[in-house]
Amino acid sequence: MACGKVSISPSIFSNLASSNSENIPRTGFLFGIRRPNSCQIIGCKVFRDGSLKNMCHDYTATFNIIPGGLDICGVFFKTGESAVKPIVAKKFEKFIPEIEKIKGLEDSASILVLALENRDLEKSTLYDYNFESQDLTKVDYNVGESNSLLKLRVRGTLSTGFEVPAENDKLFSNIHAEITALKNSVEGEACAYHLNNSRIILHNNYAENIPENGLSANTSCSQLTSHINASGDDVTQKKKQKSTTNDVIDFNLLLQMTGEVALSSTVTCAPVIHHEHRQYKFSRISLPIDALAYVYQDDPVEVVPNALTSALTSQLLSMLCCIMNHSKNSAFPVPRPHHMLPPYLSHFLTVVYPDNVDDDSLESERRSLQHQFLLPLNKPLLRPRNAFKFSGDFVSDYLINTHVGLKTSVPGGKQFVVQGDYEYHHYMQDRMDDNGWGCAYRSLQTLISWFKLQGYTEKLIPTHKQIQQILVDIGDKPLKLVGSKEWIGSMEVSYVLQNYLDVNSKILFVSTGAELASKARELAEHFLTQGTPIMAGGGVLAQTILGVDWNEDTGDLKYLILDPHYTGGEDLKVIQDKGWCGWKGQEFWDQNTYYNLCMPQLPDVI
């Protein structure tokens, strides 16, 4: 079967390139969506130990973390200096016996083989290996992201219970049996998916969907959004909503509990009552289902139940592993899924962690996953706090990322801006009248919010009084500071960051505001390598710098400023239109006042 048009996400090549310097074996799986006439490869995963001996286990483990609807499309490996067909064929021979052991993969007509080019990864050679002819055919591909994928999300609750025997072997066998029974229920005809805010219910038995929902055989996945209405009623042609293909399409999980379909998995015989009088422990766990799947916008709707069911069954297996790995003394954790979208990937990962377990206890799991998906090993990217915030999920009393949407006009300039999310903290928030003295405190709170939202800490944003108490506790200030309206500066901000978050800071000093322009390269380098907001203190004022727009040739420079002196409400339009968050020229700074810039440095954690 010809693979048709093939597209590969550029993030795959960039991650492989960055991993090359870290001595990570570049051998693993390619995954994406494959159709008869096209293939979109959106991600890759290296084999856990860099070898082929656990290829079958790696294959199963991959599905437990990537969204449903995705398939293993191929493998990749490094060939050396040349990727010509004879060399690739010889290298690929080692894969064939392992591929034949993998249930599902050997049923494919062919598999893609990406032979990595050492010097320029985007010039790597792609082949299609046909299992029947046992031959490699060179395939053209383009490098780019797909805008034609839809994200589907299904949520619900499933309950499972099991006897807790004294022997661990029997315990794990009981848990496995119950999760397997749930998995079989989800895969059966008793499972259905309700499209949120609509009357659409999609069954695993797709033949029921067309007459029940008024769908046609030609209905595409993207057209599902036209049936969504906030009231839950059918959407008429006059009130049809616009497609929101860039957002997730939400479904609720339904399981039919009565009728022939619900009883199809039971033994059809007269009731038998078995009574056994004994004492035993029994445990019941509610499983919070939250799974993602991908489909093409123009796929027929009939692929939706299959994609969601695939995501659900994989998540149940992940929950099984989580319960088994983290149960202690007959205490069983609630396995909770977290959807991650690290900035280095073009696809989601869903990680199941036990509730009420601290980050340090899960470090080895995170390190292993970040290694396998070629993510940096010095940043917290897969902690529970790193979970992606879908529309409606995130609730905050503060505005997030107030700079988004602002434009600057430095001719030929290049922007270097804060990486990640932050909260806008300013005067008069939190029922605190700090007008005229609290700007540095507010800037510090914005800096701490950045570390919190990036998953570096679970600590709360400290109040003014708590900040003052920290400075007293470390011996920097006298006790009379606590509860006062005394200003603090950049040095005090750095002390609090170090004491409260264990974050070190670099202090950049300039004798006048005019001299700040000469530090453009250092500021650009900071936002490129560290990505944290900067607190700038000068005279009696403090500002937060979120980025620079700099033309290296002409020296033209603008600063992205978040001003903590704002006293109004959380109105983004006012804040941007009035310049409380905006791009400022060199004239913004007092040309005769010295400034200290507190530049937080990233801790080396995972």
- Euclidean distance between CA atoms 344 and 225, whole angstroms: 29
User: What is the C-alpha separation between 191 and 252, in angstroms, rounded?
Assistant: 11
Q: Does the CA dihedral 534-535-539-541 come out positive or negative?
A: positive
Residue 263 has pLDDT above 70, yes or no: no
Q: How far is residue 404's CA from residue 368's CA, in Å, rounded to a whole number?
A: 33
- Report, as an integer, the average pLDDT of 501-521: 95
Helix (H) or strand (E) holding 38, with range, is strand 38-46
112: which 2 tokens? 């893609």
CB of 207 closer than 8 Å to CB of 356: no
pLDDT at 539 over 50: yes
Cα–Cα distance for residue pair 27/79, rounded to 1 Å:
10
pLDDT confidence of 524, banded at 50, 70, 90? very high
Of 294, 291, 290, nearest to 307 (Cα)?
A: 294
Q: Which position has the higher pLDDT, 74 or 233?
A: 74
Output the pLDDT for position 172.
86
Please determine, for residue 23, whether its predicted confidence score (pLDDT) is greater than 60.
Answer: no
State how far the alpha carbon of 445 is from the alpha carbons of 426, 473, 484, in Å.
9, 19, 18
Instruction: Please state the φ and ψ torsions of residue 541, each to the nearest 5 degrees.
Output: -120, 150
pLDDT of residue 239: 36
Q: What pLDDT does 247 receive? A: 75
The beta strand positions in 327-450, using DSSP E, are 335-340, 349-354, 414-417
Q: Which residue has the higher pLDDT, 95 or 496?
A: 496
Residue 266: per-residue pLDDT? 59
Q: Give the β-pairing of 248-255 and 149-164.
A: parallel
Report residue 361 as tokens. 């206890």
> Which positions are catalytic?
439, 563, 565
**What does the pLDDT average to over 582-600?**
95
Give tens-digit pLDDT for 270-325: 778 888 888 888 889 999 999 999 999 999 998 999 999 999 999 999 999 999 99
pLDDT over 90, % of the chain:
64
Q: Write out the residue limits of the CATH 3.90.70.130 domain(s) in the chain.
A: 414-600
CB 298 within 8 A of CB 222: yes
pLDDT at 231 over 70: no
How many Å is the Cα radius of gyration of the chain?
28
Instruction: State whether residue 393 is helix, strand or coil.
Output: coil
Lowest mean pLDDT among 103-117, 177-191, 271-285: 103-117
Which of 394, 401, 443, 399 is CA-nearest to residue 418? Answer: 401
Please give the pLDDT value at position 446: 98
487 pLDDT band, cuts 50/70/90, is very high
Long-range contacts of 368-372 (CB under 8 A, 24+ apart): 368/48, 369/65, 370/606, 371/24, 371/46, 372/28, 372/45, 372/46, 372/48
Secondary structure (3-state) at 590: coil
Would you state the pLDDT for residue 560?
97
Characterize 373-404 residue by residue with b for buried, 16 or more Cβ atoms within 10 angstroms of its Cβ, and e for exposed. bbbebebbbbbbebbbeeeeeeeeebbebbbe
pLDDT exceeds 90 at position 338: yes
Give the orientation angle of helix 303-326 with respect to helix 55-63, to 10 degrees.
110
- Residues counted in the chain: 606
pLDDT at residue 237, rounded to an integer: 37
Residue 18 confidence class, pLDDT cut points 50, 70, 90? confident
pLDDT score of 236: 37
Alpha helices in 188-283 (DSSP H): 209-213, 259-262
pLDDT of residue 246: 44
pLDDT beyond 70 at 382:
yes
Q: What is the pLDDT of residue 270?
A: 76
In the chain, % of residues over pLDDT 70: 91
What does the pLDDT read at residue 315? 97
DSSP per position, 500-522: HH---EEEEEESSGGGGGGGHHH
Is the CATH code 3.90.70.130 the one for domain 414-600? yes
The architecture that CATH gives domain 5-143 is 3-Layer(aba) Sandwich (3.40)
What's the CA dihedral at 12, 17, 20, 24 to 10 degrees? -10
Average pLDDT, the chain: 88
User: What span, in angstroms and rounded, lies between the C-alpha atoms of 564 and 444?
Assistant: 10
Looking at per-residue pLDDT, the higher value among 229 and 187 belongs to 187
pLDDT band at 262 (very low <50, low <70, confident <90, very high): low
Say which residues have a Cβ less than 8 Å from residue 116's Cβ, sequence separation at least 6: 16, 26, 76, 77, 78, 79, 83, 124
Q: What is the pLDDT of residue 21?
A: 56
Query: What is the location of CATH 3.40.140.10 in the chain?
Result: 5-143
Q: How far apart are CA 254 and CA 175, in angstroms?
A: 23
Instruction: Compute the distance between CA of residue 234 and CA of residue 343 in angstroms, rounded to an integer.
Output: 37
Amino acid 378: pLDDT: 92
- What is the CA 471 to chain-centroid distance, rounded? 36
Which is more confidently placed, 20 or 115?
A: 115
CB-based burial, 471-501: b 16+ in 10 Å, e otherwise: beeeeebeeebbeeeebbbbebbbbbbeebb
pLDDT category of residue 355 using cuts at 50, 70 and 90: very high
Q: Does residue 261 register a pLDDT over 70? A: no
The pLDDT of residue 522 is above 90 = yes
> Is residue 540 over pLDDT 70?
yes
Weakest-pLDDT range from 133-147, 305-319, 422-436: 133-147
Q: Is the pLDDT of residue 103 over 80?
A: no
pLDDT band at 54 (very low <50, low <70, confident <90, very high): confident
Question: Of the ranges 12-26, 250-264, 541-555, which one carries the lowest mean pLDDT score?
Answer: 12-26
Measured between alpha carbons, how far is residue 233 from residues 12, 195, 196, 198 in Å?
42, 12, 11, 6
pLDDT for residue 245: 37
pLDDT at 195 over 50: yes
Q: What span, in angstroms and rounded, lies between the C-alpha atoms of 217 and 223?
A: 12
Backbone angles phi, psi at 117, to 5 degrees: -90, 125
Query: Where residue 215 falls among pLDDT bands split at 50, 70, 90?
Result: confident
